[in-house]
Each structure stands twice: as C-alpha cells, then as structure tokens.
A and B are shown apart, each in its own frame.
Chain A
C-alpha cells in the first residue's frame, strides 16, 4: 500500500452538464509540500480539490495521488472505475477539511475524531480515544472532547474537523476554504493549527482566500481562473510579482 504523499494531475477535465469547470489543469505537489490554490469564485478551485479525493469524478486526464492512479485503474486504452471498497481505501489516506466543517452533529467532538479510526480502521475504542485526546490537545482543544459540535464555536468546530481528518493518519491533507465560513476573529486559530501542521511536514493542498497564509506558509501557489491554471510557481514570487495580467488584477482586488 503506497502512500508517498504526492499529487500529480495532468490535463484534468471536468464538466457539470454543459458547463466546463476544469479545462486541462496540471498540478504537482511533492511530498511534504504546501500548495495553495487561489482564484475568484467559480474558477474551479474547489472542484479541483474535490476531484483529488473523489468527491467529484474526473472526466478526462491523469490523476495520481499517493503514487497511484486515483479512483480508476488504467487498462488498455481506458481508465476503469475501481470498486467502492478500493476507493474508500484510497480516500482513507487523504484527509479532507470542509468549508462548512461537516462535523457529525450526533457525536461529541471526541467521537467525531474517533469515528474514522473506530469505524473504518476498526481500532479499539480505548486506543482511538487516547489518540483522539492527543489530537484534540494538538489543535488546542484539550478538555473539549465531551462537547457536541453545536456547543463549539466555528473556529473550534473547524479544529475538531482537522483533528478528525488527522486521526486517519493521512499522507495528504486537503483544505477546501477552511476559514471562509468563520467570523474574522476566529480565522487566526484555525490558520495557526494549519501552520503547525505544515511545519510537521504534512503534504497540504489548500484552497484559500487567505493570501497572508499562502505567502507565509505555501511553497507553491496555483492561480486558477475560468477552469484553467493561469499561473503557477513559487508562492512568494507569484504573490509579490505576478507575471500574468489576470493574476495581477485578482491580487489587486483581494489584497
């Protein structure tokens, strides 16, 4: 079972009906690298991220995650969809953090974090609970394990969601606008956890509007507009001296 923490995409295409959302995207994230995807609403950033863990299927193109074809196997001249169990195995090695947190409201924070290890990896509840408590402490929520999501602030919920994803010990973490649904004063605590994660060598692909985070933490930035990768390169370089006109215009508007 390979899990080398890399993402490679070549010429990805994806349409919703007649609307082409991804039009030939290339992407490459090396192990331990932090890559941020930026761009205006509707540019296809979230769709690209969701393709990487199979929440959306890809119409055409190459998508290799953790060193193997994701969701499909190459046979002859076609890619064949894998069985659901195989897809679930591949997904279990990729952590995903959603804009709306998507914590399970019927479970406490601790049970949320334990859900993957217990229900998917079939680890004993005792071991999973110890691990969950460690992870909650790591995201600054020691002692909050017994609370239900509705009793937590948005920032706390998102940190529980990060802990829940980390509990599966993924080799890659995906973040889909993790701070966009948060009140401004709560953004910092979530970004701090993400920075911490980045320093520990986690491969991260982050769709974000937080240009400060991209500049400080990211190795690479991908600017998307209209379903294409307009500009891609070293994070500080792209953000400070964008070459493309569209990138310049976007950055002028958001900074």
Chain B
C-alpha cells in the first residue's frame, strides 16, 4: 500500500461504545415488544382481523369523521368570530370573548359534553321567536338535545375557544409596520385585511389548525360516554357482548392511527405551500436593527 502524503490522509472519527449501545437498547425494546405481541395469544389477532372491517366498526368510523369535520368547521367559524371580538378595541366586546375562552379552556371537555347532554335539567323548555312579536315556537330541550347534538355542540363550543386563540395568535404575528404600510397607501380596512394581513397570518394559523384537526379526531372518542355510536362506542358495544375487550380496542386504535397518519400528509403539504408563498425577511437581521434603536 503506497504511503499517502499527510495532506491526503482521511480523517476518521472512531465509533464509540455508546453509539453501539443506543442501537442495542432500541433493538432490544422493539424486539421484546414484537415478540410479546406475536406470541401472547391474549391479543387475539384473528379476532382483530375479523372485526376490522365489520359494518358496525365502519359505521362508527364514518360517524367519527362526521363529528370531526362538523365540529372543526363550526368551531373554526365561531372561533373566528371570537378572535375578532377578542381583538376589538371595545372593552366589553373583548371582555365577553375573553370570558368565553377562559371558561371553555378552563373546564374539561368531557365535563362540558355531559353538561350539554343534560342541559334540559337547567332549561327544560325554551321558545324560539322573533323579539317584539307574538311569533314564537316552544322547543322541548330534552328532545332537541340528542346525544349527537350534544356531542356536536360540546365539541364545537370547546374547539371555538382554542381556534380563537390560534387565529388571534396569527394576527398578532403580523408586524404593526404592515398595517402602517397598507394605511399609508390609502387602503381601506377591508382591503388591508384581505390582501395584506390575512395572507400573512396563514403560516401561523394553518399548521396549528392541522394539529387541532388531529386532536379533534381523537377527542371525538370522548362522546362515546353519551352513547353516540362513533368508532370507540361501536367497539365497546361489540366487546360488551363478546367480552373481547382488548382485540376490539386494538381495532379502534388502529383506525385512529390510520386516520391521523392520513391527515398528517395533507397537513405537511399545506404547511409547505404556505411557507413558500410567504417568504419572510430574516427575523434575526430585523431584530438586531431594532435592538440597536
């Protein structure tokens, strides 16, 4: 072997024991888990596969998706209203929004769901009508507040509080100079919002909303306590009859996992799209200049 010149010699960092140790630990843990799931017959994998695509489970899956979409759409719309109220310069308006957000973020969503289901105990009858006229219809709250309505109302109202804060955070992330630049060009408040401010809030709002969707998908499992036949409740109904608790919980879990993984694909695509359209100037440079003033 010819002797290399010192300038030509490769530099080598030797592998240290801990590099191998990390691999050994990880392989041992995963190997153990795989071994026990395959060999422990209590998992009852054949039962898992036999129920994986039964009608009851698939119906539950559809209802879970319906609940997620309905609560997210309604919650985002209400959240937008709350965010606008929260940013209002009128103290009573922003105070109301703040009160709402504090209340709904400060109490567990499970408690809220049970509360809405039992709201008839508080208001047995309400009448919906046009103020200052005789036109009104009495409504039986007990009949109106079915488990499904209570589920959508509860999830929506809770989600709105979180979306309000996300949307407000998006608006807060836009520099005041952007408002001033738009104003100095003579833009109306609406034009400024539509063409300058809202596009810049999106990189902050979209990824956070994506997380909320994934969170909401899993949160819908809470409404099983109201007897809404969504995914978890459907699995529970089956194992209440057959006592195959673990296999059916695995069926539900696998479906939740598949759906959240499927959702993360469009989310990362949307995230990429928005980070491309909004090229922000390097924040470091701006911060340095401001701190010099």
Contact = CB atoms under 8 A, between A and B. Distances in A.
Contact of A53 (B184, B188, B279, B282): B184
Nearest to A50: B180
Interface string B186-200: 111101000110011
**Chief secondary structure at chain B's binding surface:** helix
Contact of A116 (B185, B199, B282): B185
Contacts of A89: 186
Given A149-B281, A150-B280, A150-B281, A98 B183 contact: no
A106 B175 CA distance: 13
A136 interface: no
Contact of B187 (A54, A105, A120): A120
A106 B195 CA distance: 9
A105 B188 contact: no
Interface in A192-209: none
Given A88-B186, A104-B196, A106-B200, A98 B181 contact: yes
B186 A168 contact: yes
Interface in B254-293: 277-282, 285-286, 289-290, 293
Contacts of B178: 102, 104
B279 A168 contact: no
Nearest to B198: A106
Contact of A150 (B189, B279, B289, B290): B279
B177 interface: yes
Contact of B280 (A84, A85, A105): A105
A55 interface: yes
Nearest to A108: B279
Contacts of B289: 100, 181
Nearest to A182: B289
A94 B195 CA distance: 21
Nearest to A164: B185
A104 B293 CA distance: 23
B293 A41 contact: yes
Contact of A98 (B177, B195, B199): B177
A124 B191 CA distance: 16
A119 interface: yes
A104 B183 CA distance: 12
Given A85-B188, A119-B195, A168-B186, A102 B180 contact: yes
Contact of B279 (A120, A151, A161): A151
B186 A148 contact: no
Interface string A139-160: 0000000001111001001000
Given A98-B177, A102-B175, A115 B185 contact: yes
A151 B183 CA distance: 24
Contacts of A93: 186
A83 to B, nearest CB: 11
B195 A105 contact: no
A14 to B, nearest CB: 17
Contacts of B185: 91-92, 115-116, 119-120, 164-165, 168
Contacts of B195: 115, 119
6 contacts: A54-B183, A88-B186, A100-B175, A103-B181, A104-B182, A119-B191
Interface of B: 175, 177-178, 180-189, 191, 195-196, 199-200, 277-282, 285-286, 289-290, 293
Question: Nearest 3 A-B pairs (CB), nearest first?
Answer: A92-B186, A96-B184, A102-B181
